């Protein structure tokens, strides 16, 4: 059977562990049944796709090289999260992000092993040159090359036995080489600034370079906010896929996003459809319908207009986000494991006052 179109479904960040503000009631505290239930609403769209991809923002391991009881827990979930992702319909995860080495190289390797055992492709692994190892899929005449990379600085550093954080020029050369073979190059890139409603100038510059090099589908994550989807030359760009399942409940922009359905033809432009959803306070995803869906798409349309007209987003948006973040922490302090939250708060105050940890 000749394939005329390949469908790729993409979402943003899935964090398998608890955030500092959600110890005891975040993604890392969900039971196996709850993990499946959390993703259930997206399953039909994911399972209908040929490739379904997310950014795995954290590790899947029972160990950490961090001795501190707070830091050893955050952004780390159990290995069977990988099975929940596969059963929901995901076929691939990107591990190229600044949280992959948060618990050490052994925990990172545990993550890769867990994903592979569950039947997930792992993209964003580094080769001996530090470039992403391509994951290639052939669907008849359509050849898809999946790449994952990070441009976000990692205080822990990276190495060629972990995830790909390549020099931009080397990555662009790799993309050009793959595109020259006739492959449709899809790159999942960790880049940009957190909390922005629009991509920053550095990200826009990277998008231009990636498109010029031959990337057909550019999927960006790290902002935690769903940003405009647009065409740039022959490329389809998701400038910020936002959060899929991440316990950052202090602002609606952090819990509302969309599944990007990209239909990749043998010839011609990639067509896209968005399926908006939100994460409830009970850690379950819900597809948006009726007025809620309309408002999401209208808001996204406004952001697209701002991007096209090069209007800056609200200058105080990050400050407002921090205020809401602090209020959320205080209001939910008694929920879950408050002792760990207190340790986190105490350590943060001590650092602000100049004391050593």
Mean pLDDT of the 322-329 span: 89
In this prediction, what percent of the chain has a pLDDT beyond 90? Answer: 85
pLDDT of 110 over the 90 cut:
yes
Give residue 182's region: left, alpha or beta (phi > 0; psi -120 to 50).
left
Confidence of residue 14 (pLDDT cuts 50, 70, 90): very high
CATH code for the part of the protein at 5-352 = 3.60.21.10
**Structure-derived torsion over alpha carbons of residues 75, 80, 81, 87, reported in degrees to the nearest 10:** 170
Query: Which one-letter DSSP state was computed for residue 296?
Result: H
Q: Is 134 buried (19+), middle (13-18) or exposed (0-12) by CB count in 10 A?
A: buried
- Biggest CA–CA distance in the chain, Å, is 67
Mean pLDDT of the 251-266 span: 96
Residue among 90, 86, 91, 17 at smallest CA distance from 58:
17
pLDDT for the residue 330: 92
Residues counted in the chain: 357
Strands (DSSP E) along 64-109, which ranges?
Answer: 76-77, 92-94
Confidence of residue 353 (pLDDT cuts 50, 70, 90): confident
What is the C-alpha to C-alpha distance for residues 266 and 279, in angstroms, rounded to an integer?
35
The pair of structure tokens assigned to 56 is: 């795995």
pLDDT for the residue 162: 95
Mean pLDDT of the 152-176 span: 90
pLDDT tens, position by position, 265-322: 999 999 999 999 999 999 999 999 999 999 999 999 998 888 887 765 555 566 677 8
Please check whether residue 217 is in contact with residue 184, taking contact to mean a CB–CB distance below 8 angstroms. Answer: yes
Judged by average pLDDT, the poorest of 42-56, 219-233, 310-324 is: 310-324
pLDDT for the residue 319: 66
Confidence of residue 350 (pLDDT cuts 50, 70, 90): confident
pLDDT for the residue 332: 94
In this prediction, what percent of the chain has a pLDDT beyond 70? Answer: 96
Helix H or strand E segment including 105: helix 105-117
What is the C-alpha to C-alpha distance for residues 119 and 143, in angstroms, rounded to an integer?
20
């Amino acid at each position: 059977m000749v394939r005329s179109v390949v469908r790729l479904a993409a979402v943003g960040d899935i964090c398998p562990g608890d955030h500092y503000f959600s110890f005891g009631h975040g993604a890392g505290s969900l039971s196996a049944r709850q993990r499946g239930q959390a993703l259930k609403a997206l399953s039909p769209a994911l399972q209908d796709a040929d490739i379904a991809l997310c950014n795995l923002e954290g590790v899947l391991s029972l160990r950490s090289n961090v001795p501190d009881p707070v830091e050893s827990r955050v952004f780390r979930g159990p290995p069977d999260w990988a099975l929940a992702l596969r059963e929901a319909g995901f076929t691939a995860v990107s591990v190229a992000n600044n949280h992959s080495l948060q618990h050490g190289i052994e925990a990172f390797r545990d993550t890769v092993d867990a994903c592979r055992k569950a039947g997930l492709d792992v993209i964003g692994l580094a080769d001996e040159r530090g470039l992403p190892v391509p994951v290639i899929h052939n669907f008849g005449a359509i050849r898809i090359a999946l790449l994952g990379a990070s441009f976000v600085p990692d205080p822990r550093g990276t190495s060629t036995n972990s995830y790909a954080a390549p020099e931009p020029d080397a990555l662009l050369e790799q993309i050009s080489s793959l595109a020259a073979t006739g492959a449709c190059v899809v790159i999942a890139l960790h880049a940009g600034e957190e909390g922005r409603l629009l991509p920053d100038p550095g990200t826009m510059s990277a998008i231009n370079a990636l498109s010029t090099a031959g990337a057909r589908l550019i999927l960006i994550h790290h902002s935690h906010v769903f940003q405009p989807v647009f065409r740039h030359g022959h490329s389809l760009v998701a400038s910020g896929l936002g959060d899929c399942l991440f316990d950052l409940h202090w602002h609606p922009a952090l819990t509302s996003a969309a599944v990007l359905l990209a239909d990749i033809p043998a010839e011609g432009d990639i067509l896209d459809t968005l399926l908006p959803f939100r994460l409830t306070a009970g850690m379950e995803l819900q597809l948006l319908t009726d007025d809620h869906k309309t408002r999401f798409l209208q808001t996204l349309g406004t952001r697209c207009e701002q991007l096209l007209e090069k209007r800056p987003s609200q200058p105080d948006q990050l400050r407002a986000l921090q205020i809401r973040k602090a209020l959320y922490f205080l209001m939910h302090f008694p929920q879950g494991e408050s002792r760990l939250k207190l340790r986190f708060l105490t350590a943060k105050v001590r650092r602000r006052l100049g004391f050593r940890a």
